[in-house]
Structure 1
């Protein structure tokens, strides 16, 4: 595959995924009138998938440091598959379920002054983590796709240059995904 075709393919996939996530998050595509019961397990599943990916990424780094290339590839492939399942689950949840607001104690879809006061300054911490998580999640998809291609095609030098950026961003996104879940989960009203 030429670089031109690779970059266009990665760009197309990234744009479609980003657009789908935005459309579903903004409820441009309305969800069902009744939320299926399984949908309420999806945020926990997403946190489990993110946490597992975090561990796999760190273990993968360990193995590549010791030149265990096949184990490294296998662990990254599993992490990529789990991230794909995460993305599908995330999109499905945001299609099916209403938005959860940080601090919305009574589940009415509005965070009033009393609820803001109850949440306190931790709201700003939550939004800082969430904001960087969302921004870097959008950035990491094309980096992961390119890194996978370079790694599996054994373009080692190009892969190494790319994963210097990809690895810490992907790890940050998976770790903060778990943190965001832990912070927002008390406000789920299922």
Structure 2
């Protein structure tokens, strides 16, 4: 597994850990343990932010890896990837909104959006894992685009 795959593995570990912390936080709010809930959710949100920064860095510094599996599955993979990207983007935007509601103590609004946000994040984490497995484990990786560094130095 090359640098793109290793960085992708790191990103997946962080994303799954983030989703796991959110799930645990959800459990605690269901059991009326607000402070424990808050700690898990803030930890999950922090790891979500770490994932986002790491993903952007990997895209700019290493590049994006293309699907290398059988051509007959390429269209299905691209549709699946698009769904993942849309869900992850929606979850990230909703996460910021949900966090802002909680931190500003607008709990009525927070309670309405939070279950949707968590659900979208769970699905984004699972589909992200599937994308990683399809790109680097199940099939050999396709080519990786040039990184920003390669573009700047002309290689």
Task: State the TM-score, normalizing by the size of structure 2.
Answer: 0.79
Shift of the 187–50 alpha-carbon distance from structure 1 to 2, 3 Å rule, reads: same
Unmatched runs of 5 consecutive residues or more in structure 1: 1-36, 105-114
Q: Verify the 8 A CA contact 2:19 2:122 in the aligned structure 1.
A: yes
Shift of the 75–188 alpha-carbon distance from structure 1 to 2, 3 Å rule, reads: farther
Shift of the 170–40 alpha-carbon distance from structure 1 to 2, 3 Å rule, reads: closer
Alignment pair present for 1:187 and 2:141: yes
Which residues of 2 match residues 14-163 of structure 1 at below 5 A? Answer: 40-103=5-68, 115-116=70-71, 120-121=72-73, 123-163=74-114
Task: State the TM-score, normalizing by the size of structure 1.
Answer: 0.65
Alignment pair present for 1:165 and 2:116: yes
Corresponding pairs, count: 140
Unmatched runs of 5 consecutive residues or more in structure 2: 145-155
Deviations 1:88-109 (A, max 9, x none): 11111111224322126xxxxx
In the TM superposition, residue 62 of structure 1 has moved relative to its aligned partner by 0.8
Give the match's secondary structure for 2:135. Answer: helix
Corresponding residue of 2:147:
none
